[in-house]
Amino acid sequence: MKKSKYINLVLITATLASCDKPKNDWDENNKVHLRSDTTAPYTRVHHNSGVGTALLWYYAFRPYGNYRNGEYRRAGYYSGGIPAASNIGSNRFKGAVTRGGFGRSGFSVSS
């Protein structure tokens, strides 16, 4: 039934271990205001309770940019965890692509 007794995981244990942290720093009573672009205003963000393990992923600020003439240009940072107004500001690179058109139908696909 089993082809081999040896299983190697190259990615998942490290990745997910980094998600599995206590959420002490994210107490629900804390007021958190974030922005991802210096040209954008701060807004207060909220998170659902009981999902502390994934919060670091949710609010992560990821590098954002584009390729032009084969050259990558960093436009700044983006986080899907904060309102659009605090993500884009007047940054024209960020404004060229629409985001957020997927991901609104549910909280998990668990089957």
Whether 56 and 19 have beta carbons less than 8 Å apart is answered as yes
* Separation between Cα atoms, residue 68 and residue 92, nearest integer Å: 14
Using the rule CB under 8 A, is 31 a contact of another protein? Answer: no
Using the rule CB under 8 A, is 20 a contact of another protein? Answer: yes
* Residue 51: CB minimum distance to another protein, A: 5
Using the rule CB under 8 A, is 12 a contact of another protein? Answer: yes
Q: Of the ranges 23-31, 37-45, 90-98, which one interacts with another protein (CB under 8 A)?
A: 90-98
Using the rule CB under 8 A, is 2 a contact of another protein? Answer: yes
**Residue 91, CA distances (Å) to 36, 73, 75, 80 in order:** 11, 13, 8, 16
Using the rule CB under 8 A, is 107 a contact of another protein? Answer: yes
Among 51, 85, 90, 92, binds another protein (CB under 8 A): 51
* Separation between Cα atoms, residue 47 and residue 27, nearest integer Å: 10
